Amino acid sequence: MISTYAGIVALLGVFLIFAIGFFVLSQSSAQGEAGKIKESVYRIRRVWFVFLVALLVGILATTLPHAPNLKAAETHPQVVVKVDGRMWAWTFTPVQGAQLDHDGTLLLPAGKTVEFLVTASDVNHGFGVYDAAGTMLTQVQAMPGYVNRLVYTFRQPGTYTVLCLEYCGVGHQVMTSQFKVI
């Protein structure tokens, strides 16, 4: 009887060892599969990374030279006007190529490159220029102690409106002005 039991236990033991061996083998081959998948995913990720970096560099190289501020820096203006914002009005002082008419309205020539030298005397304001249809054409911040250059060429003669674009106190909404392009 004992030898029969020993035989059964031995058989079970051998079976168990085979079963464990088979299990370990199948697990390790599954891990190998996962490793291969992981590797291919990493490869795709690397390719995408290189592609996206190249795309980003390409887009920056193409669009940066057209950035308005960089273009303004290399523009030689034909007309220069100082702009001062204070609560709650705009003051224009022609420096070159512009003039004030008899009632003090700023007159700018059409088709010439105008440079506004924009600053503020009290708090921050926003210098926004609109055409007769109410479309914003260009804008820059007016800051105390700092002069912002804003370069724009007005093609169409007409009356243009300046609105303050930054809340600057109780009179903010009446801080408007107009100039003419002739």
Binding site residues, Cu ion, CB under 5 A: 125, 164, 168, 175
Give 93's contacts (C-beta < 8 A, 6+ positions apart): 81, 82, 83, 84
Runs of H (alpha helix) within 117-171:
none
Q: Are 153 and 115 in contact (CB under 8 A)?
A: no
The answer to whether the bond into 90 is cis (omega within 30° of 0) is: no
What does the alpha-carbon distance between residue 76 and residue 120 come to, in Å, rounded to a whole number?
24
**φ/ψ of residue 136, rounded to 5:** -70, 130
Closest approach of Cβ 171 to Cu ion, in Å? 8
Please identify, using beta-carbon distances, which residue of 177 and 181 lies nearer to Cu ion: 177
Closest approach of Cβ 85 to Cu ion, in Å? 6
Please identify, using beta-carbon distances, which residue of 15 and 167 lies nearer to Cu ion: 167
Closest approach of Cβ 47 to Cu ion, in Å? 51
Token pair for 73: 């820096």
Please identify, using beta-carbon distances, which residue of 119 and 125 lies nearer to Cu ion: 125
Please identify, using beta-carbon distances, which residue of 98 and 168 lies nearer to Cu ion: 168
Closest approach of Cβ 174 to Cu ion, in Å? 10
